């Protein structure tokens, strides 16, 4: 009998402890499983599609007001052109046949007006500004004046320029206020000098409004002054920043007038600006045969600018109407007076409008403004 074979252990049998297999995760949640957190579920769920952000109501209203300010002068000028079509046609015909030499001289004086404005801007600020960029900003400010009345467009461009040059906001605002004040004062002094020297001032009496208009205008001005004074006295959030601005302005005024160079730039530029502008108008009038001596043209420009400045309108529409009226009062023909004012606006506003807008865009791209 053959001996019995001893049975060898099976390869699958091992003396090492057995490991329990890990069950695969189930797709189904048991009854006691609380499940994922609600916040995680909300994060996992796709949200609504994000649409374009809504525009603020204040921004929309500001754009509407700016558009209205740009459109209203055009509509008023169009209405005037329709009602005075024969005068306008005759004025344009005379403007086409104008003497080009006098028009070229008027264009040169127009360029000098930007230099004078730059001198006044520099003289109103103790800090030294780069001359080239300052001149470019004043050239671009002329294009911005067509969008806002009363020179607000030029002041806004200048304020951005000064802020870009590192001037604090209170001092930049104070310099703009000093610029406006000195320009008005210098223009009044030049007007008084021409009134004293020219006998044509007697004809300006027909341009002064009668008592039916003066009384409401004086009452309205007094009411505005009273409201502003009451706000300054009783509204503390308004009084405190305005008081700080006035203190900063007075400090800068004392500092500027302690430097002879700033005084010459400030007052010399302010006096030369109305004279240069009036010289441009006189050149246009000479090219068209206006028939008025230059001192009467200068006096008409100063008087019309003062009277039309009381009614701020974009594009100088009120000043143009007062200027035509003053020329006619001095004895000029209506058609020639209209052509002179149109030619003056072409040289000073309409021709530099597109280059000024391009310079404004270039300064903004270069982050100067």
pLDDT in tens, 100-149: 899 999 999 999 999 999 999 999 999 899 999 999 999 998 888 766 66
Residue 216 has pLDDT above 90, yes or no: no
Q: What number of CA atoms fall less than 13 Å from residue 362's CA on the CB side?
A: 11
Percent with pLDDT over 90 in the chain = 28
The DSSP string of 178-204 is HHHHHHHHHHHHHHHHHHHH-GGGGGG
302 against 201, higher pLDDT: 302
What is the C-alpha to C-alpha distance for residues 102 and 235, in angstroms, rounded to an integer? 55
What is the C-alpha to C-alpha distance for residues 145 and 117, in angstroms, rounded to an integer? 14
What is the C-alpha to C-alpha distance for residues 158 and 231, in angstroms, rounded to an integer? 28
Are 315 and 73 a contacting pair, CB within 8 Å? yes
- Distance from the Cα of residue 311 to its chain's centroid: 18
* Structure confidence at residue 34 (pLDDT): 52
> How many residues does the structure list for the chain?
369
> Please, is 84 exposed, middle or buried when counting C-beta atoms within 10 Å of its C-beta (0-12, 13-18, 19+)?
middle
* Structure confidence at residue 205 (pLDDT): 59
Are 112 and 269 a contacting pair, CB within 8 Å? no
Mean of pLDDT values over 68-82 = 59
What is the C-alpha to C-alpha distance for residues 335 and 288, in angstroms, rounded to an integer? 10
Cite the DSSP H helix spans in the chain: 38-44, 57-83, 85-96, 100-123, 131-144, 152-164, 169-197, 211-234, 236-256, 260-263, 269-288, 294-309, 317-329, 334-345, 353-365
Are 239 and 232 a contacting pair, CB within 8 Å? yes
Closest CA to 360 of 133, 115, 28, 191: 133
284 against 335, higher pLDDT: 284
Are 173 and 167 a contacting pair, CB within 8 Å? no
Closest CA to 292 of 331, 338, 344: 331
- Give ∠ CA 267-115-251 in degrees, rounded to 5: 40
Closest CA to 95 of 281, 280, 284, 282: 284
Mean of pLDDT values over 62-75 = 58
Residue 315 has pLDDT above 60, yes or no: no
Mean of pLDDT values over 294-302 = 89
What is the C-alpha to C-alpha distance for residues 231 and 235, in angstroms, rounded to an integer? 5
Which tokens in the block code for residue 360? Answer: 């404004």
What digits encode the pLDDT tens for the residues 239-283?
777 887 788 888 889 999 999 999 999 999 999 999 999 999 999
75 against 189, higher pLDDT: 189
338 against 216, higher pLDDT: 338
Total-model pTM: 0.71
> Please, is 43 exposed, middle or buried when counting C-beta atoms within 10 Å of its C-beta (0-12, 13-18, 19+)?
exposed
Residue 160 has pLDDT above 80, yes or no: yes
Residue 195 CB partners (closer than 8 Å, separation 6+): 201, 299
* Structure confidence at residue 61 (pLDDT): 61
What is the C-alpha to C-alpha distance for residues 84 and 169, in angstroms, rounded to an integer? 47
Residue 311 has pLDDT above 60, yes or no: no
Mean of pLDDT values over 274-297 = 91
Residue 314 confidence class, pLDDT cut points 50, 70, 90: low
In the chain, the N- to C-terminal Cα span, in Å, equals 116
Q: Which of 155-159, 213-217, 223-227 has the lowest mean pLDDT?
A: 213-217
What is the C-alpha to C-alpha distance for residues 323 and 307, in angstroms, rounded to an integer? 9
Residue 165 CB partners (closer than 8 Å, separation 6+): 127, 129, 130, 133
* Structure confidence at residue 116 (pLDDT): 95
Closest CA to 103 of 275, 317, 342, 300: 342
* Structure confidence at residue 286 (pLDDT): 93
Residue 35 confidence class, pLDDT cut points 50, 70, 90: low
Are 313 and 70 a contacting pair, CB within 8 Å? no
* Structure confidence at residue 122 (pLDDT): 94
Mean pLDDT estimate for the chain? 77
Mean of pLDDT values over 22-33 = 49
Residue 53 has pLDDT above 80, yes or no: no
* Structure confidence at residue 6 (pLDDT): 46
* Structure confidence at residue 8 (pLDDT): 46
Residue 81 confidence class, pLDDT cut points 50, 70, 90: low
198 against 46, higher pLDDT: 198
């Amino acid at each position: 009998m053959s001996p019995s074979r001893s049975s060898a252990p099976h390869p699958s049998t091992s003396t090492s402890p057995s490991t329990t297999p890990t069950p695969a995760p189930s797709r189904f949640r048991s009854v006691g499983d609380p499940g994922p957190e609600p916040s995680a579920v909300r994060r996992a769920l796709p949200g609504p599609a994000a649409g374009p952000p809504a525009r603020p109501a204040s921004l929309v209203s500001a754009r509407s007001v700016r558009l209205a300010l740009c459109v209203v002068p055009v509509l008023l000028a169009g209405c005037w052109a329709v009602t005075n079509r024969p005068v306008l046609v005759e004025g344009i015909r005379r403007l086409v046949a104008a003497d080009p030499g006098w028009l070229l001289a008027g264009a040169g004086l127009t360029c000098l007006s930007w230099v004078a404005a730059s001198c006044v801007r520099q003289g109103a600020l103790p800090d030294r500004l780069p001359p080239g960029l300052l001149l470019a900003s004043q050239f671009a400010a002329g294009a911005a004046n067509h969008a806002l009345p009363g020179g607000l467009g030029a002041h806004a461009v200048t304020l951005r320029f000064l802020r870009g040059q590192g001037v604090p906001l209170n001092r930049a605002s104070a310099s703009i206020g000093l610029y406006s004040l000195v320009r008005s004062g210098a223009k009044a002094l030049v007007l008084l000098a021409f009134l004293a020297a020219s006998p044509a001032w007697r004809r300006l009496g027909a341009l002064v409004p009668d008592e039916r208009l003066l009384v409401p205008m004086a009452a309205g001005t007094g009411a505005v002054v009273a409201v502003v004074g009451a706000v300054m006295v009783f509204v503390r959030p308004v009084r405190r920043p305005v008081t700080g601005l006035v203190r900063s302005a007075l400090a800068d005024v004392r500092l500027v007038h302690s430097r002879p160079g700033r005084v010459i730039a400030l007052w010399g530029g302010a006096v030369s600006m109305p004279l240069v502008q009036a010289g441009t108008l006189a050149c246009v009038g000479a090219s068209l045969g206006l028939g008025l001596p230059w001192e009467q043209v200068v006096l008409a420009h100063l008087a019309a600018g003062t009277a039309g400045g009381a009614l701020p309108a974009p594009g100088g529409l009120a000043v143009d109407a007062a200027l035509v009226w003053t020329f006619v009062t001095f004895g000029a023909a209506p058609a020639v007076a209209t052509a002179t004012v149109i030619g003056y606006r072409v040289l000073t506003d309409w021709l530099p409008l597109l280059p000024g807008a391009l310079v404004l865009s270039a300064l903004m791209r270069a982050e100067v403004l």
